[in-house]
Amino acid sequence: IIGSVFIGSITYLFTAFRELFYLRQKKDPKLYFNVMVILFAATYFSSFLVKIEPDLNFIKNSFFVVSIVMIIVNSIRVAWIAFLSKRQKLYLLGASILLSVIFAVITGYTMDTKVLLNRILVDFSPGFYTIITLMMIYATINFGVIFFTTLFHLPTAEAFDRKAKEVSSLANFSRLITQVFDFKELAETVTETTRKVCNSDVAWLAIIEDDGMEVVSVSNIGFAEAYKVMNNILIEERSALTGVKVFNRQSIKVSLEDSIRYLNFESLMVAPLSIHNKISGYLFSGNLKYYSFDEDDEKTIGAFADYAAVALENSLLIKESIEKERLEKELDVAREIQMKIIPNTTPKLDSLEISAAFVPAFEVGGDYYDFFELEDEKLGFVVADVSGKGISAAFIMAEVKGIFESLAKIVDQPKELLDKANNILINSLSPNEFVTAVYGIVDRKNGKLLFSRAGHPSVIILREGKVIHLTPKGIGLGISKNGLFAQYLEQMEFELKNNDIVCLYTDGITEAQDSHLKNFGLEKFEKLIQTHADKNLEMLTQSILMEITNYSKEQSQHDDITLVMFRWFDNKKTEKING
């Protein structure tokens, strides 16, 4: 039973020492520990040789001495003590004194061969007795080293605790910057942590706004007091504050509503919040008595100020991101409105081949086209371009659609229709908004094209391979309120011939840009129409759009593209030829 108790105790003690040996080791130290274990084993087995042949005692003694050397080598590997807090080190110091004394007494008792228990152990198993002796020596040396190492670490324990707190605070700041989107919440953490880590009496954080400085967070000081102190310091020092600065023994007058008093700072630190070489605010930390800030305090507040600067930048970026998301939702609404307004199909008529294409830009513009089947075999059409982009342009476009749909049914002259549309829009458009448009009517009985133009690109006619520009006078809808619109508006009539192509478009085609920001231009557009004129209008339209897409593939499309084309077939002429 006694033997089992001894073996269990020695095994537990050995396991505990092994855990302490490996604790907080940055490099693999198993070689040293394994060598010690091998020497313990060698000493154990050599003890039996001495019992058989006493002259071999020197072998056992050699292994015993080398084992003690390895015990000393392994005992000094106690780096884990440095990672303890001051309180933990004080506890460890007391425990190591007690255990050192206990194991020293046990070691002396174990090595006394006059003790009956020791003689019994030697007779029973000399190797086991040797191991017990080595373990007692190991315990005595190990706890002795722990005691002295802890004692030497005590003077720096407080500084180590402070550094550990700084590292922990910085780690928390890193987490908060990525997880906390509210800058005020983060500012409160910055000021509170600054006050605690720098061991200061007060702390506060101020940021630069468009209309001046604003104190956003305080710790152990009032907002009014912080604001007064900040102004007092920054009036004289702001231009020179490019890094952390310490002011010692500052007496600052603070005038509040009901009293005037002085805040006497033994030491006051100011750190600018700087990012991308731009100062966005200042972090303050002050001691009212007893303690002046040192270099470590300056580094700490400098680090916290950097984190606060990043947090401020992040909060601004988040605001911008939210605004961007809001705008994108508006664009989605605008796209939805636009796609509902644009007709899905084109009219199918005997005398007219019609093709229409609409390519929306990412930032929604205000292009609009439509067709109106009128009485007496007439077809009304409109192509319009609203100034501006986004949701406002989409709403104006919806209003324009309603106006043209209503007027097309009751007004049979394009000039009169545009004049009435202008009178309606003039009251709803803001001064910087306007609409360009072409409205016309094709009489399918006689092939006459009647139209007016309100500031829109000219109507292109392709006749027998030649390009004709039809450009009656006209200014944009919503620009003039004093009757100038009707005065400068002209109506033009043009008689179509068999196989004539009428082309209506918006400036998204001619202003498409390549990688050098060069516009596609009207000349290229005209040549495309001429080149592909023998194709049906659908294929002609697709060929034009493909060329424009290839031309501007390295630039994002900044405006809507609208292309409406008619090809006139003179049925009477066709019947005559067939006859």
Cβ atoms of 273 and 282 within 8 Å: the answer is yes
pLDDT on residue 317: 80
> How far apart are the C-alpha atoms of 249 and 260, rounded to whole Å?
19
Of 488, 462, 492, 459, the closest CA to residue 476 belongs to: 488
pLDDT on residue 574: 44
Of 337, 339, 347, the closest CA to residue 564 belongs to: 347
CA dihedral sign of residues 478, 482, 484, 489: positive
The pair of structure tokens assigned to 572 is 């009477």
Per mean pLDDT, which range of 59-63, 96-100, 210-214 is the poorest? Answer: 210-214
**pLDDT above 50 (res 80):** yes
Q: What is the pLDDT of residues 513-542, one digit of tens each?
A: 988 889 999 999 999 999 999 999 999 999
pLDDT band per the 50, 70, 90 thresholds, residue 576: very low
Per mean pLDDT, which range of 78-87, 126-135, 179-188, 411-420 is the poorest? Answer: 179-188
Helix, coil or strand: residue 324: helix
The pair of structure tokens assigned to 335 is 């796209």
> How far apart are the C-alpha atoms of 16 and 21, rounded to whole Å?
9
Cβ atoms of 484 and 490 within 8 Å: the answer is no
Q: At what angle do helices 414-425 and 390-408 cross, to 10 degrees?
A: 140
pLDDT band per the 50, 70, 90 thresholds, residue 578: very low
pLDDT on residue 17: 78
Task: List CB contacts of 69: < 8 A, sequence separation 6 or more.
Answer: none
pLDDT on residue 504: 97
The pair of structure tokens assigned to 503 is 């082309």
The pair of structure tokens assigned to 312 is 């401020």
pLDDT band per the 50, 70, 90 thresholds, residue 544: very high
pLDDT band per the 50, 70, 90 thresholds, residue 171: low
> How far apart are the C-alpha atoms of 274 and 410, rounded to whole Å?
67
Q: List beta partners, residue 441.
A: 380, 450
DSSP state of 477: B
CA dihedral sign of residues 33, 35, 36, 37: positive
pTM: 0.53
Q: Which residue has the higher pLDDT, 279 or 565?
A: 565
Helix, coil or strand: residue 563: strand
DSSP state of 60: H
**pLDDT above 90 (res 567):** yes
Looking up tokens 């829109």 gives: 456
**pLDDT above 80 (res 240):** no
pLDDT on residue 321: 83
> How far apart are the C-alpha atoms of 283 and 168, rounded to whole Å?
19
pLDDT on residue 262: 67
Mean pLDDT of all residues belonging to the chain? 84
The pair of structure tokens assigned to 509 is 């085609």
DSSP state of 139: H
- Delineate the domains of the chain, giving CATH numbers in brackets: 2-169 (no CATH), 180-320 (3.30.450.40), 342-578 (3.60.40.10)
Task: List CB contacts of 205: < 8 A, sequence separation 6 or more.
Answer: 187, 190, 191, 215, 216, 217, 218, 281, 282, 283, 284, 308
Cα atoms found within 13 Å of the Cα of residue 95, Cβ hemisphere only = 10
**pLDDT above 70 (res 163):** no
Q: What is the pLDDT of residues 385-429, one digit of tens each?
A: 998 877 788 888 889 999 999 999 999 999 999 999 999 999 888
pLDDT on residue 185: 78
Angle at 160 between CA 267 and CA 21, to 5 degrees: 180
CA dihedral sign of residues 395, 401, 407, 413: positive
Q: Which residue has the higher pLDDT, 319 or 374?
A: 374
Per DSSP bridges, beta strands 491-495 and 260-275 are: unpaired
Q: What is the pLDDT of residues 485-519, one digit of tens each?
A: 999 999 999 999 999 999 999 999 999 998 888 99
Q: List beta partners, residue 270.
A: 245, 284
The pair of structure tokens assigned to 393 is 């342009």
